[in-house]
Amino acid sequence: LPRLGPPEIDGVTVTGVHFLGQVGGKVDALTGSGAFTLADLAADGVAANGVALDATFGLDGETVRFDLKGKAAGLLADRLDLATDQGVAFDLAGVLEGQEATLSRFVLTGPVVEAKASGTASLADGPLALTYQVRIPDIAPVAAAYDAKAAGRVVSEGNLSGTLAAPRLDAFTAAEQLAMDGQAFGDVRIQHDVVVAEAVSGTVTVDAATKPYGKLKAATDLVLDGQTLTLTKLQADGMGVRVRSPKPLAIDLEKTLIDGRIAWSAGNLASLARLAGAPMAGMAAGSVVFKPQQGRQNLTVDAKLERGKVGDAAVSLLTVKAAIRDALGRVPGVDASVHGETITAGDIEITPV
């Protein structure tokens, strides 16, 4: 078959199909086996070439059984070359009974990614029950495909439930020995339980053990509706700083604008000394209110520092109130008031300011 393109599947092109094998049985109860090859396949951002499979199959009424093992010389997903020059191996088996599909095994093995999956799915928008595992032994070629520089290994495992129209993904993704632009970062684990429908909704937690910043944690409920990402119950902790969002935080991803408020506190600024490059001490707390106005990002900042110290300078109390207009613009406008008590630097003491 020099060209095979199922008319009922839009956007799918298959060329150079060959089958050499045997088929036997009755018209409604067939079995077969043989070698199946195709030259090229393209569909929705995925392209394969040089596919060669050993196939066995059976047809009994509306029940189709299949077992495929083989290799693709080339496999491209978006901009990512999954085969490089080594090819990608496939091992796939399952049963299709009318609108019900059972995937007993799916194994993809290649130089860039390794994947496994099994489970059941209703093609008539019935229930899903799938498990999967994806391993990327080195993310460098993945990052390079998108003009980035990174290193490390990634594993993701989880369960897919719900329906085809609204699948629920309950899984974790872990990155180990992560480095960005040649700088070591550390290990990151993301736990996510989301439903993908007209809007994406669910919960995400992040735990990281980093070299530059120590342990970092974050968690939030989220809803992604079009270009608007809404975060609720946001909390983050790292380097002795705690961040909370008492009310929903709405982010316009298209315009890069935020509407909402976050509160923060630091019980001991000594943990921030590595960023300041000097010894630090003190307690601090404050809030930031984000307000978009006429396409610009405005901020209101409140902060209080008690018994603060940076290097040889110290202050017993410092309060800051600031209104920032067009914070992301070329020349932001700032109205600020600062009040300090007992400021010392060496032998100099000033109070109040």
pLDDT at 7: 41
Band of the pLDDT at 4, cuts 50, 70, 90?
very low
Query: What average pLDDT does this structure show over 87-105?
Result: 94
**Residue with the larger pLDDT of the pair 67 and 213:** 67
pLDDT, average across residues 160-172:
94
pLDDT at 97: 92
Examine the pLDDT at 153 and tell me if it is beyond 70: yes
Bin 312: left if φ > 0, else alpha if -120 < ψ < 50, else beta: alpha
Question: Is the CB of residue 207 less than 8 Å from the CB of residue 174?
Answer: no
pLDDT for the residue numbered 8: 43
Range 117-134 average pLDDT: 92
Confidence of residue 98 (pLDDT cuts 50, 70, 90): confident
pLDDT band, residue 10 (cuts 50/70/90): low
CB-based contacts of 264: which residues, under 8 Å, 6+ apart?
241, 242, 243, 244, 285, 286, 287, 288
The conformational region for residue 280 under phi > 0 = left, psi -120 to 50 = alpha, else beta, is beta
User: Average pLDDT in the 168-181 region?
Assistant: 95
Rounded average pLDDT over 15-38 = 91
Q: What is the pTM of this model?
A: 0.83
Do 108 and 90 contact (CB within 8 A), yes or no? Answer: yes
Question: Whose CA is closest to 288, among 351, 340, 241, 220?
Answer: 241
Q: What is the mean pLDDT of the chain?
A: 92
The pLDDT of 59-82, averaged and rounded, is 93
Rounded mean pLDDT, 177-206? 95
Alpha helix positions (H), 253-301? 273-276
